[in-house]
């Protein structure tokens, strides 16, 4: 998985999306980006966000906690948008710790770059066509869950929280 990486010291993988962030000089809507930190584990974790160029960025709530099997959105704002800062890669380091013992669990680095220009706009809807069906398209779709117990299917719901935080709750669905 591209969003996960081992800490290199044999601890748990850290899940972050996206794994790179691009800010565009001429598009102010991109000067604020969101990183999502996931905690797929059965225990709560603490996190800390650090940066190689802290004077160029602001991060709302750079430290906090994530409940078990939940995620949180971290907002990063580029506060030093100028041509002189273009094409200079910066890094954010997300460190995770056990909630109770505060022992390090792992870390993940995310590259952030300011580039000149504007992002490519999405492809217009009229350019997309339906793909032909294959003979195996009648089989049921494979379903995945966070459960390790066979035969259990979880339905996940995101509940909005203040400051852009969202918790994931799981509801057991029989069948």
CB 158 within 8 A of CB 166: yes
Mean pLDDT of the region 43-64: 96
Handedness of CA 122, 127, 133, 138 (dihedral sign): positive
Query: In the chain, what percentage of residues exceed pLDDT 70?
Result: 71
pLDDT band at 126 (very low <50, low <70, confident <90, very high): confident
Alpha helices in 36-170 (DSSP H): none
Q: Which residue has the higher pLDDT, 168 or 102?
A: 102
∠ CA(80), CA(82), CA(86), 5° rounding?
Answer: 100
Mean pLDDT of the region 153-165: 39
What domains, with CATH codes, occur in the chain? 4-118 (2.60.40.10)
The lowest-confidence range among 7-11, 52-56, 101-105, 128-132 is 7-11
CA 5/CA 58 separation, integer angstroms? 24
What does the pLDDT look like over 72-110, one tens digit per residue?
A: 999 999 999 999 999 999 999 999 999 999 999 999 999
pLDDT band at 170 (very low <50, low <70, confident <90, very high): very low
CA 51/CA 77 separation, integer angstroms? 12
Check residue 127 and give its pLDDT. 83
Q: Which residue has the higher pLDDT, 144 or 27?
A: 27
pLDDT band at 130 (very low <50, low <70, confident <90, very high): confident
Pairing between β-strand 45-51 and β-strand 63-66 as defined by DSSP bridges = antiparallel
106: exposed, middle or buried (C-beta count within 10 Å: 0-12, 13-18, 19+)?
buried
pLDDT band at 3 (very low <50, low <70, confident <90, very high): very low
Alpha helices in the chain (DSSP H): none
């Amino acid at each position: 998985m591209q969003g996960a990486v081992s800490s290199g010291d044999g601890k748990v993988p850290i899940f972050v999306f996206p794994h790179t962030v691009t800010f565009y000089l001429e598009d102010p809507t991109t000067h604020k980006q969101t990183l999502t930190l996931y905690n797929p584990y059965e225990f709560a974790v603490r996190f800390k966000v650090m940066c190689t160029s802290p004077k160029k960025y602001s991060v709302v709530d750079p430290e906090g906690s994530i409940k078990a099997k939940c995620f949180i959105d971290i907002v990063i704002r580029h506060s030093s948008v100028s041509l002189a800062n273009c094409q200079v890669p910066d890094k954010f380091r997300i460190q995770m710790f056990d909630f109770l013992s505060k022992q390090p669990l792992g870390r993940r680095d995310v590259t952030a770059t300011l580039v000149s220009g504007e992002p490519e706009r999405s492809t217009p809807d009229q350019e997309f066509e339906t793909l032909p069906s294959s003979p195996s398209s009648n089989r049921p779709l494979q379903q995945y869950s966070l459960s390790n117990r066979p035969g259990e299917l979880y339905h996940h719901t995101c509940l909005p929280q203040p400051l852009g935080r969202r918790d994931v709750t799981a509801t057991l669905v029989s069948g």
